[in-house]
Amino acid sequence: MAPASPPPRTNEKFLEVIAPMVGTFYRSPAPDEPPFVDVGDRIRPGQTVCIIEAMKLMNDLESEVAGEIVEILAKNGEPIEYGQVLMRVIPG
């Protein structure tokens, strides 16, 4: 009998960074600058994690939690919808 594989990871322990508006997702403040955050980065409340452009206005999206970025789901320059999950964070 083969050993049991570990159960798949569930999203229950992750917090999600949700788009508060419709717009365009940007990972960095300018095309030639590094992204605000990458997978593996630790974030703190109030830290800018991305920009959402809506109606020609650039809106900084700040983290509401402290933790580690484990997944970035939106692509740079991609249109996003209200309520869309942009990132997942392990709180802590």
Chain centre distance of CA 2: 38
7 token code pair: 């159960």
Q: Give the percent of the chain with pLDDT over 90.
A: 85
Please, what are the domains in the chain?
Answer: 11-91 (2.40.50.100)
Please tell me the total number of residues recorded for the chain in this structure: 92
Question: pLDDT tens for residues 27-65?
Answer: 999 999 999 999 999 999 999 999 999 999 999 999 999
pLDDT over 60 (residue 6): no
- In angstroms, the CA 75 to CA 86 distance is 9
Q: What sign does the CA torsion over 31, 32, 35, 38 have?
A: positive
Q: Which amino acid is at 48?
A: T
